[in-house]
Amino acid sequence: MNLFSRGIRNAFRNVIRTSSIIIILALSIGLSIAMLAAKQAVQDKIATVKQSVGNTVNISPAGFRGFEGGGTALTSDQLAKVSKVSHVISVTQMLSDRLDSNTTNLQSAIEAGQLGQRFGPGSSDTQPQLPTTDSSSSSPGTGTNTITRSFTPPVTITGTNNLSTTAAFNGNSAKITSGATINASSDENVALVGKALAEKNNLSVGSTFTAYNTTITVKGIYDTGTTFGNGGVVVPLATLQRLSSQSGAVTSATATIDSLDNLATATTAIKSALGSDADVSNSQDVASQTVEPLESVKKISVFSLVGAVAAGAVIILLTMMMIVRERKREIGVMKAIGASNAKIMGQFIVEALTLTILGLLVGTLVGIAAASPITKTLVTNSTTSSQSQQFGGGPMGAPGSNAGSRPVGGPAFRSIQQTSRQTLQNISASVGGSTLALGAGLAMLIAILGSAVPAYIISTIKPAEAMRSE
Amino acid sequence: MLQVNNLSKVFRSEGGSVTAVDDISFSVDDGEFASIVGTSGSGKSTLLALLGALDSPTNGDIIIDDRTITGLRDRQLVDYRRKTIGFVFQNYNLVPNLSAVENVMLPMEYAHVPASERRKRAKKLLEQVGITDEKLQRKPGRLSGGEQQRVSIARALANKPKLILADEPTGNLDSENGTMIFDLLHKLARSEHTTILVVTHDLDIAGRTDRTFKLKDGKLQKK
């Protein structure tokens, strides 16, 4: 029998009280472990998302809103400045244009559909047609007129100097399913054609089509897996600039930076180099915007963790204070028969540790069971709420306006956002060794904090009290 | 062995001050069995607490074996209580969740007696006071008052103290058990050559000790 065995045995002097304390402590410690796991899972997810979006800087003409217009095209000279910025390892340039019946013999692979009909006057394959009003279906003044428009979406042609970027394929990854790729840095009249467009126009490798009164040869057919992505044409940048009479013009560019660590510095330097002529944003901005809900979940988990630890410490504190008060006379007797304050404190700390360790054991099971559901619930609630706020307004399909809070543009960035948002939902928390070790450390902290005040009370108890009769 | 010089203890509170022990001087010889008698509130227990270093005096000195214990530091006082003093309380004050033998082993643990010796010595002491066999493992709640007090005496003897301070050791016992406990203390004082100072209000008991000091209102009366 020594200090440790007495401390452990004392923890079970009142079995009902001990069981109750262990259950309450287990809930507190379990919540702490669940919150630690949630924080770790969220932190890992944030790192994954930020890593996955890469180290790129998006550059577009200031005020540019895609085919809705706005802004003045960037020039090759401006982008040459970007290439010279420190840490920039490459600059992918793109020029986008739309081909209508006046400029190509291609038929769009995409039907306008009901949504497209709303943009009727935007079609240019024929003279814009005025909406037809079917007066028979409504009475004047009722406001229920049926509007019918005739609209065919144009064919998008993209010129790029780098085919490895997804931006050239409307933000999608493309696979050459037939033929070969083109040399993006050449000035040849060659093209890659989307699978759907090729099927619509009976094109195959070696076929030709007309654009800008020039015959262009199909070198390859690509597949992006999306209807929209498969409806375009991709040509070398210089070719499109020449054919569309937009020499040196660029509608978007993506600068690749040597490392994530230099992304912020390089972004600032690019902004400085281009001044007010361009809107510059980096992929981390998009990622940060996307992982904003996770940041709030992280904060919630930290606050909950602190709260749970504090609650555990208070539980132990009150329990030990109650026990010390209850055994005040016994403490006095122990002092009278030769126990030092340290010995008595040690015995009570062992008792507190015993309760805490038992609480930790049960709490670990609670934490393991609760970690994933709690994390999923927090993340789902946060991301749903955040997305409804972000997409609450703003014109559909307007490039660069999908963020709601701040404009970041380009198909590449829309793709990053979509991917990142999807990965956010696929989160699961697991209680690993490090989380358990941290949880055990927190439990010890709870025991020590909870024992501190009772230990002080012990040191102030005068043994003379033991001599006085009850 | 024990020398008390001009010892006083004054308890101060907002309502005023109470002098529990008032300028007491006396001495007890080595191996003597002495008693202190007095009515309730006469300061007997306070005096015993001062002698046992459980409380500090307001004035005066306590000298045991030529060592002044008043003014010792906390750590030295713990050591003094551990090695020099053995306490016997009126209401036994055994630790309720420890067995009889474990209660006797407890002071030995505080005095750093090797674990192997503790149990052996505790059993021997308990045998001396008549606690044997299965009663060794009984917790205080399963022992009679007399048995508990016997365990308490064995515990007081655990570290072979020079001075045993007993506060009304028979106060909670019937006369038969009271006499038996008193006889036991008397026998141990003789066999172990231990000095014993008993506080009691029972004049019969006091009359059987070697010397009796009478306390009244904190002052020592001439016998």
Q: Which amino acid is at A280?
A: V
What chain A residue is nearest to B199 in terms of C-alpha separation?
A: A467
- Taking the C-alpha atoms of residue A261 and residue A263, their distance in angstroms, rounded to an integer, is 6
Q: Which helix (H) or strand (E) holds B153?
A: helix B145-156
Structure tokens at B155: 């515990």
What chain B residue is nearest to A3 in terms of C-alpha separation?
A: B109
Domain residue extents for chain A? 2-51+289-392+402-469, 55-109+152-282
Mark yes or no for CB contact B95/A343 under 8 Å. Answer: no
Whole-number pLDDT of residue A417: 58
CA distance B93 to chain A (A): 7
Please, what is the average pLDDT of chain A? Answer: 79
Q: Using pLDDT thresholds of 50, 70 and 90, give the confidence band for residue A305.
A: confident
CA distance B43 to chain A (A): 11
The residue-averaged pLDDT of A407-414 equals 50
Angle at B198 between CA B192 and CA B202, to 5 degrees: 130
Least confident of A315-324, A446-455, B2-11: A446-455
Size of interface A-B (CB pairs under 8 A): 77
Helix axes A433-460, A341-390, angle to 10 degrees: 140
Q: Does residue A208 have a pLDDT over 60? A: yes
Question: What's the sign of the alpha-carbon dihedral A379, A381, A383, A386?
Answer: negative
What chain B residue is nearest to A13 in terms of C-alpha separation?
A: B97
Residues of A in contact with B55 (CB under 8 A): 462-464
Measure CB to CB from residue A466 to each of B93, B102, B107 and give the nearest one: B93
Whole-number pLDDT of residue A405: 37
Q: Which residues pair with B3 in a beta bridge?
A: B27, B63
Q: Which residues pair with B13 in a beta bridge?
A: B16
The residue-averaged pLDDT of A345-366 equals 89
Angle at A379 between CA A378 and CA A385, to 5 degrees: 95
**Residue-wise pLDDT tens digits, B121-156:** 999 999 988 898 899 999 999 999 889 999 999 999
- Taking the C-alpha atoms of residue B56 and residue B72, their distance in angstroms, rounded to an integer, is 10
Phi-psi region of B48 (alpha: psi -120 to 50; beta: other; left: phi over 0): alpha
CA distance A344 to chain B (A): 10
**Residue-wise pLDDT tens digits, B161-190:** 999 999 888 888 888 888 888 888 888 778
CA distance B115 to chain A (A): 8
Mark yes or no for CB contact B54/A335 under 8 Å. Answer: yes
- Residue A4's CB is within 10 A of a number of other CB atoms, namely 13
Domains and CATH numbers, chain B: 30-53+75-222 (3.40.50.300)
- Taking the C-alpha atoms of residue A84 and residue A416, their distance in angstroms, rounded to an integer, is 26
Structure tokens at A326: 């209850």
- Taking the C-alpha atoms of residue A106 and residue A129, their distance in angstroms, rounded to an integer, is 21
Note whether ipTM > 0.90 here: yes
The residue-averaged pLDDT of A277-288 equals 78
Q: Does residue A236 have a pLDDT over 90? A: yes
Residues of A in contact with B109 (CB under 8 A): 1-3
The residue-averaged pLDDT of B53-75 equals 91
Q: Does residue A135 have a pLDDT over 60? A: no
CB of B144 closer than 8 Å to CB of B178: no
Mark yes or no for CB contact B52/A467 under 8 Å. Answer: yes
Structure tokens at A283: 């992929």
What chain A residue is nearest to B172 in terms of C-alpha separation?
A: A469
**Residue-wise pLDDT tens digits, A70-111:** 678 888 888 888 999 999 988 999 998 888 888 899 988 887
